[in-house]
Amino acid sequence: MMKLETTNRRDWQGFTRILEVMSFVDELGDHSPDDIRESAEKFCELPTNPGQTMSLEEVVFWAGVASGMEFWRHAEEDSVDPSTAEKMLVFSSIFAHSMKNAIVDLALGELDTEDKRPFPKIGTRTRF
For the cut 80, the answer to whether the pLDDT of residue 10 exceeds it is no
Domain extent, residue 90, equals: 11-115
Q: What is the mean pLDDT of residues 95-117?
A: 71
Structural domain contains residue 127: no
Burial of 92 (0-12, 13-18, 19+ CB in 10 A): middle
The secondary element (H helix, E strand) that includes residue 96 is: helix 82-115
Structural domain contains residue 124: no
The count of domains in the chain is 1
- Count of residues making up the chain: 128
pLDDT digits (tens, 9 = 90+) for 37-64: 998 888 888 778 877 777 777 888 888 8
Structural domain contains residue 121: no
Euclidean distance between CA atoms 44 and 41, whole angstroms: 5
Distances (CA, A) of 99 to 3, 22, 116: 9, 10, 26
Structural domain contains residue 99: yes
Prediction pTM value: 0.57
Structural domain contains residue 123: no
Structural domain contains residue 125: no
Structural domain contains residue 122: no
More confident position, 22 or 113: 22
pLDDT digits (tens, 9 = 90+) for 108-125: 776 665 555 555 445 444
For the cut 50, the answer to whether the pLDDT of residue 127 exceeds it is no
Structural domain contains residue 120: no
Euclidean distance between CA atoms 27 and 24, whole angstroms: 5
Amino acid occupying residue 120 = P
The one-character DSSP state at 28 is G
Q: State residue 34's pLDDT score.
A: 94
